[in-house]
Structure 1
Amino acid sequence: MFFTLAYIAAFSARGLALSNYEFLYYTALMIAMIFLGVKVARRLHLAFFILVNLSVWGFLHLLGGNFYLSGGVRLYDFYLIPNFFRYDNFIHLYASFIITLALYSLLDNFTHEQIRRRYWLFSFILILMAAGLGTFVELAEPLAVIALGATGQVGDYFNNAFDLFFNLFGAVLATIIVYYYQERPKFLKKLNAAADKNN
């Protein structure tokens, strides 16, 4: 929590010093999401792993908008895979991945057993919820364009489409990992049975 407050304060001070109101707008949105996350965590006891990763995501998100590489390239615009996968895409994938895990953690105990047995249905619900939250964040970007003239920073139609795609990909990846985590006892039992047969 102290780490989160420290980097928010540091990046906010930098935004004020540079009169970067677009960045301050996004910081305010993130503070609102963190506040909501803390409220939810206190009531429903989110796993520490999820809280830590949400904090790390917040730091990486703010770093992407403030750190410039050699040549004046903003970290958010840097291609991790040339002409395809940018740092911005990684942040969307990572955020959606962690949010989907958080949704699973919140909903698992309140979900009917018949739905949990049909994991494809439960995962589809989780993916839709995570994608919906990601879309809500994307809808906040036009406000920055309208009010703050942030067209160059926010990106074009394709940037928005790629953001939504990697949001979806992160959610799907999280549900696959949860599935194999749930199936782990069965998988280990099969391995043990195979080992016993060989012996």
Structure 2
Amino acid sequence: MNLDYFIRQKNTLILLFTILYVLIFSISALFTENDEFFYYTLLMGVLIYIVLVINQRMHFAPFIVINLSLIGFLHLLGGNAYIGTVRLYDFYFVPGLIKYDNLIHVYGTFIVTLVLYSMVSVYLNRELIRNRYWVIAVALVLMAIGVGTINELVEFFAVVYFDAAEQVGDYFNNSLDLLFNTIGAIMATVILYWFREQTSWLHNLNENLKKIS
């Protein structure tokens, strides 16, 4: 067994890793009676199925698939792991300014924006992307913010049904989530702009990885 084997089996390995951590966090939530994060892990299972269905048609680049899995892992880790007595999601890397939750929102929306670009770019020709990129970029940011809003609704239901107000946060925290979602989406469109001459650098990356295998 060598590196070539792992490259060929990358999607299977990513799926196994994702299923494994979802099962582990589900069991942990049951034993600790953490209804909020058991709810999140169930939703994660639904999202895995949706991504699998979409990926069968879209064939996302390995970079995207890997990072989607990592987002799920880091999200569940943030609600279950502690640094001392502080829940990881509430841990500040820069005291009073930037915490783990903020970084996850930036990272998550960054990857979601790349996913959205991968999905819409196949319906757009090269010239349109080159000549109207910033119009497309604004649309991508708005779509990514919309996806982030769905996440906020998921948290709202956790507050309503699982009394998770303390963990989820107040109106200010909700607004910060939307702000960092916007930052992540804008960062992604800027990165995509740098590679606009290739039309879809994610597709090219995927093709290069296929050549390695």
Structures share a fold, TM > 0.5? yes
TM-score, normalisation: structure 1: 0.88
- Number of aligned residues: 184
Partners of 2:97 and 2:139 in 1: CA distance: 29
Q: Which has the higher contact order (CA 8 A, sep 6+)?
A: 2
Structure 1 partner of 2:81: 67
Is contact 1:57–1:91 with CA below 8 Å preserved after alignment? yes
Is contact 1:115–1:122 with CA below 8 Å preserved after alignment? no
| Matched ranges for 1:87-106 at <5 A | 87-106=100-119
Which of the residues 25, 46, 49 maps onto 1:35? 49
- Which amino acid is the alignment partner of residue 29 of structure 1? L
Identity %: 49
User: Which runs of 5 or more residues in structure 2 are unaligned?
Assistant: 1-14, 199-213
- Which amino acid is the alignment partner of residue 100 of structure 1? T
Structure 2 partner of 1:79: 92
Q: Secondary structure at the match of 2:145?
A: helix
Please say if 1:48 is aligned against 2:62. Answer: yes
Is contact 2:22–2:44 with CA below 8 Å preserved after alignment? no
Pair member with larger Rg:
1
Structure 2 partner of 1:111: 124
Structure 2 partner of 1:193: none
CA shift for structure 1 position 115: 4.0
- Which amino acid is the alignment partner of residue 110 of structure 1? Y
Structure 2 partner of 1:2: 16
User: Which runs of 5 or more residues in structure 1 are unaligned?
Assistant: 185-199
| Matched ranges for 1:139-154 at <5 A | 139-154=153-168
CA RMSD of aligned residues (A): 1.5
Partners of 1:92 and 1:34 in 2: CA distance: 19
**Worse overlay, 143-152 or 111-120:** 111-120
CA shift for structure 1 position 33: 1.7
1:9-29: CA deviation from partner (whole Å, max 9, x where unpaired): 001000011111111111122
CA shift for structure 1 position 35: 1.4
Partners of 2:75 and 2:125 in 1: CA distance: 35
Structure 2 partner of 1:21: 35
CA shift for structure 1 position 162: 0.5
